[in-house]
Amino acid sequence: MRSAGGFMEINAQYLGKETQRKIKKIFLKEKKVILFNFLDGKSYLELKPEIQKLKFRQEKEPLTHCYSRASIPSAFQEKLMSKEFVSFIQFITNTKNISWKPDALQFSWKEYTILHDNNKEKPEIDIIFDFTDDWNPKAGGAVTYVDGTGNYTKLPIQGNMLAIVQRSKNEQKFVQYVNHYGSDKNRRLLTGSF
């Protein structure tokens, strides 16, 4: 039964137990799962403008990153962590306690992140929710995982897409430079780890 309230009302196609078992199996084997049209359509259309309303401020450290970040008010944060969403993540990742406090990030033309020894992330589970609709695939901006041996995995760019990635010890991620084909749009993500 669907619980009321909150932003994260999951698309019914992901609510079935059998589907969730399959997703869990993929996640435990591949350490990664990508779910398109994750939220119920209405829920996504309600959440997206709320993200757009957040106050994004540019942060620029040329050696590591250039993007805009918005802090998420606590009331908003509570609505993100709906019972349904939390249960879903707990089940898929086999984790009891989820504390997902994402950042809202926005990437525009000429913005990026760079891997840097000072910014190394410890092994965790990343949850990335994408709000980028109609993105030009030539524009860059993909969240890209590297495993330290030269292997790269790019996540797709699509609105209403949820990625859950378990990062191993040597795995890091960056957001590709957004080039001029992305000059007329902003790329927004909720991204956080636990």
Partner 1 sequence: MLSEWLNPLYLQKKTILNNRKTFLRQKPFPYLKFKHFFHEEKADLILQEIQKEKFFLKESDLFKFKQTQDLQSSTNKILQEFRRFLSSKEFIKYLEELTGYSLKINAIDMAGTVYEDTDFLLPHDDRLEGRKIAYLYYLSDLTTQGGGQLNLFSSNHKKPTAIGKQIIPQFNTFAFFLVSQKSFHSVEEVIGQKQRYALSGWFHGN
Binding site for partner 1 (CB under 8 A): 61-63, 110, 112-115, 138, 140, 144, 146, 174, 176-177, 179-181
CB of 91 or CB of 181, closer to partner 1: 181
CB of 87 or CB of 186, closer to partner 1: 186
Closest distance to partner 1 from the beta carbon of 182 (Å):
10
CB of 49 or CB of 150, closer to partner 1: 150
CB of 10 or CB of 142, closer to partner 1: 142
Closest distance to partner 1 from the beta carbon of 116 (Å):
9
Pairing of strands 125-130, 187-193: antiparallel
CB of 84 or CB of 182, closer to partner 1: 182
Closest distance to partner 1 from the beta carbon of 63 (Å):
6
Which among 96, 99, 80, 95 has a CA at the least distance from the CA of 38? 80
Closest distance to partner 1 from the beta carbon of 145 (Å):
11
Give, in order, the Cα–Cα distances in Å from 9 to each of 21, 79, 106: 19, 10, 23
Give, in order, the Cα–Cα distances in Å from 84 to each of 80, 89, 125, 138, 167: 10, 9, 19, 35, 24
Question: Do residues 40 and 12 lie in contact, with contact meaning Cβ atoms separated by under 8 Å?
Answer: yes
Closest distance to partner 1 from the beta carbon of 71 (Å):
24
Query: Tokens 């106050």 sit at which residue?
Result: 55
CA atoms of 162 and 150, how far apart (whole Å): 25
